[in-house]
Amino acid sequence: MPTSTTVAVARAGEDTLHWESAVLDDPGPGEVLVRLVATGLCHTDLSVLAGRLPTPLPAVLGHEGAGIVEAVGAEVTDVAPGDRVVLSFDSCGHCASCRTGRPTACGTYFPLNFKAARPDGTTPIHTPDRTQLGGLFFGQSSLARHAVVSSRSVVRVEVDNDDELALLGPLGCGIQTGAGTILNVLRPQYGDSVAVFGAGAVGLSAIMAARLTAARTIVAVDVVPSRLALATELGATHTIDSGKEDLGRRLAELTGSAGLTHVVETTGVPSLLELAATAVAAHGTVAVVGAPPAGSRASFDINALIGGRTIRGVPEGRSDRITFIPALVDLARQGRLPYEKFVRFYPEEQLHQAVADARSGVTIKPVIRFDGVVQGGDR
């Protein structure tokens, strides 16, 4: 039986999301119906709303959901009604990359996650008058009380209560992107130096993960003093306010003759990516995580790359979400990944405030609670 629910709709030309009534189809083959407990608000959602990414609108966004399975479609065997789950990105599940634990390398990664529709163009969400809305954004469209989700986006977790479950939502994208870039891709060795450009949710997650490695120098770069202070609390050994200091010169001073081993670029600012390409040492790596508007360009001295420097894009921390998200849950429970320090919960009636606070940077990681319970930090 179709499910009547409430969803946050992004419409072209509007600067925020609006709650609307909607109807969800029953989950089809390979799909799961989830009642959301909470959903993180990510800057990717805001980029789609602003028209900077190619997701067709109107659509229901949200891709950091956490909730409870209510029903499963045909061919779903990994989860059952009543299971607590974190929702993450989608992939095809059957190509060579998916079969070998590399789902972010799936050839259908971008259309499955950004098209906001099934491969055949249909979606499981429509308005009460049967007007179709984009759905299955990142396999989930979880800024909603209920969502029909790709089973490949579902990660079952063991939790004590809904409060703990609500805090796990951001693991589905922002936290795993930052932490995974460090732990799955860069893997700093003893004596290495890591600079993280941007101290938002992704950048701070990279800093926390770098602290778990043998990296000797961890540099946080931002223009907001409070974020730099939090970066120090979470593991940065040095900070640079790039609005007041010469970033290239300061990086050279901090790393000396050895040079900078790794850069995690989370801002999506092309000029910072260009600087990173020159600041990293020979055989160093620049991990590109921040997404600028479509069509953005950056220029590099090709000869600088010949020395062995690597510039690579890293979607979702190149994680196998089925194994990596439970590992992050364990790290968080041990107090080794304290991302709760930059999470703030908002009741659903404060959705517009959450969008405004995310856009302005007042809140690093807003999370919408769907049961009326609000708790957590104030950053």
Block residue for tokens 């670029």: 265
> Per residue in 246-277, pLDDT tens?
999 999 999 988 889 999 999 999 999 999 99
Block residue for tokens 């419409």: 11
Residue 42 — φ and ψ, nearest 5°? -110, 155
Flag whether pLDDT at 316 surpasses 80. Answer: yes
132-141, 195-204, 293-302, 319-328: least confident range: 293-302
Residue 311 — φ and ψ, nearest 5°? -120, 120
Q: Which domains does the chain have, with CATH numbers?
A: 3-172+338-369 (3.90.180.10), 177-314 (3.40.50.720)
Q: DSSP states of 251-280 as a string?
A: HHHHHGGG-EEEEEE-S--HHHHHHHHHHE
Query: Residue 376: pLDDT band by 50, 70, 90 thresholds?
Result: very low
Flag whether pLDDT at 377 surpasses 80. Answer: no
Q: Which residues contact 367 (CB under 8 A, 6 or more apart)?
A: 38, 39, 40, 41, 64, 166, 167, 169, 170, 343, 344, 345, 346, 376
Flag whether pLDDT at 155 surpasses 60. Answer: yes
Strand ranges for the chain from DSSP E: 3-10, 18-24, 31-40, 59-60, 65-72, 84-87, 125-126, 132-133, 146-150, 154-156, 193-197, 217-222, 238-241, 260-265, 280-288, 310-313, 343-347, 365-369
Query: Residue 292: pLDDT band by 50, 70, 90 thresholds?
Result: confident
> Per residue in 41-71, pLDDT tens?
999 999 999 998 899 999 999 999 999 999 9
Predicted local confidence at residue 374, as pLDDT: 43
Predicted local confidence at residue 257, as pLDDT: 83
Predicted local confidence at residue 372, as pLDDT: 52
> Per residue in 320-343, pLDDT tens?
999 999 999 999 999 999 999 999
**For the residues 122-144, what does the mean pLDDT come to?**
97
Determine the Cα angle at 132 with ends 127 and 137, to 5°: 105
Query: Is pLDDT larger for residue 307 or for residue 5?
Result: 5
